[in-house]
Amino acid sequence: MSDETAPKLSPVEGHKSEGRYLRGTLAEEIADASIDHLSDANKSLIKFHGSYEQEDRDARKARAKAGVGKAYMFMIRLKMPGGKLTADQWLALDDIADQYANGALRLTTRQSIQFHGVLKGNLKATMAGINASLVTTLGGCGDVNRNVLSCPAPLPDPTRAQMQRDCDAVAEHLAPKAGKQSYHEIWLNGEPATFTDNPEIDEPLYGKTYLPRKFKVAFSLPHDNCTDILAQCLGFLAISEGGQPVGYNLFAGGGQGQTNSNPDTYPLLAQPVGFIGLDEVLMAAEGVCKLFRDHGNRSNRKRARLKYVMKDWGLEKFREVFYRDYFKGPRRDPRPAEITGLDLHHGWQGMGKAGGGAGEPAGGSPVKGEKFFLGLSVENGRVRDDGAMRLRSGLRAIVAKYKPDIRVTAQQDIMLCGLTMDDRAGVDSMLSEYGIPRPETLSQVQRWSMACPAIPTCPLAITESERALPGVVDQLEVALKDAGLAGEPISVRMTGCPNGCARPYQSEVGIVGRGGTKYTLYIGGDSYGRRLNTEIQDGVPIEQIVPKLSKVFAAFAAERSNGELFGDYCTRVGLPKLKELIGAPA
């Protein structure tokens, strides 16, 4: 293809190419106190460092009326593979939330933590504080491999332990190299980075222009798909024999985002590529990443994800190119392994004896020396004090006293790990003291719900999400109770735009921002992440969402087969009937 006929590259590709391995002029603009925001090029580059430029959209109208500019601020996202933190790291990050951010920590759907409301003048100090706690933000955002997910539950299971090790190894292997030097130079007063101007040496995996868009990786288990493996660009589904891990089924090409009124964009599920051994994990991860680097769309960012390479090529061509050009191991068919469940990891659960060995499950007879973890449900991932429910203060007090390890889940929840039987009564007492509900006291629909931050911080949001979903859940609790379905684990996910950060297109009820106070309603997905849902009606006012769903709940309660899940029922009866039930146009 000649230069005249080649598609024009997107502006972001120019920002990356001219950005000197993610440096740009970030250091100069960050140091310039006369400006409160960044140039377009540096706004692109800072994403790779784990930050997005945003604005306080709640303040927009008042500031416009007063004739002043936007209230610029920054979001900072951590890179923490598998969602792991020590107690001391949690306490340090909690301090940062008070000192530099908006007084809250936001647990994400990718087992990470975000800070919101950081002012430009505090960016460098915030980054330095995060790194001083031995946590990084490099690659939290941007066109590189993002945070790698793995089941966070510290259960006495050799396969879960292997997944955590492989999760850490993949995260390290796919981290930027020259970009890491630039990161230290800009944020940590490192030595000025020197490069050879040879991308194969400076940035051997990514090159000067990195990936066409973001790249997401997750590890999961067939019986516990708590990381939504089919929503990922690259997924490793663990295969065990005799209780021991033997390898992974490799999946590729999943993704959530789409664009309103653009039929050439859509969510897709990852497809099975093949089986790999434990010693082939890094080679497979690098191979898929390089395939995306070389064949992803760099002209149209709306179609730049790996999922569109898979969709446009088809699975067989994807396999052919992967095994021919990017993976030197043998080609093996995927092993038989169906996804059969998803564990939220809520409540008290046994970890086994200190130093290894399985104990009795929590609730059975405890074993001497056994350790426990406590999984807590966090509404939409927002860790803050809100009236009588002082979640942030309570977590800080518990972590400071008992020093548990911390795990963040892909469902926006938190786990306190390594507690003893003697700790349990004290922790439960502190939960009550700070008004923090135990998961078993919450409704199923609240425990299975997720929302993205949306307004007022996200510049892409076109409707509310995090601030709107609690009210919707309150109504759903009543509707489900009236239908006799209060005990059903129905997943509900809301986003403020169609980009799908809370993975709404796989949930049994997906509520996606359309504009103003209207949403596109999807139903028929799967709580375990195995199936996409279907659009049932566009432009639904928020006050009509639950009344419409109530009619489907009533039909489900009356017509379900034995043990049938809500999403399976919706799929079985079909779209025409569902549309008829809610009064949607045929």
Could you give the residue numbers annotated as active site?
Answer: 77, 146, 214, 216, 452, 458, 497, 501
114 backbone φψ class: left, alpha, beta (φ>0; ψ -120 to 50): beta
Find the helix packing angle between 178-187 and 123-132, rounded to 10°. Answer: 120
Find the helix packing angle between 391-402 and 421-433, rounded to 10°. Answer: 160
What is the C-alpha R_g of the chain? 24
- 203-241: b (≥16 Cβ within 10 Å) or e: bebbbbbbbbbbbbbbbbbbebbbbbbbbbbbbbbbbbe
User: What whole-number distance in Å separates Cα of residue 138 and Cα of residue 79?
Assistant: 7
Helices (H), 262-368: 281-295, 306-313, 315-321
User: What whole-number distance in Å separates Cα of residue 120 and Cα of residue 426?
Assistant: 41
Our CA angle for 506, 481, 466, nearest 5°, is 45
User: What whole-number distance in Å separates Cα of residue 350 and Cα of residue 370?
Assistant: 7
Please state whether the peptide bond connecting residue 263 to the residue before it is cis, i.e. omega within 30 degrees of 0.
Answer: no
User: What whole-number distance in Å separates Cα of residue 578 and Cα of residue 571?
Assistant: 9
- 36-58: b (≥16 Cβ within 10 Å) or e: ebbeebbbbbbbbbbbbbbbbbe
User: What whole-number distance in Å separates Cα of residue 270 and Cα of residue 280?
Assistant: 20
DSSP state of 323: I
User: What whole-number distance in Å separates Cα of residue 579 and Cα of residue 577?
Assistant: 5
User: What whole-number distance in Å separates Cα of residue 417 and Cα of residue 303?
Assistant: 40
What is the CB neighbour count within 10 angstroms for residue 368? 8
Q: Are 147 and 111 in contact (CB under 8 A)?
A: yes
Q: Are 159 and 245 in contact (CB under 8 A)?
A: yes
For residue 184, the SS3 value is helix
379 backbone φψ class: left, alpha, beta (φ>0; ψ -120 to 50): beta
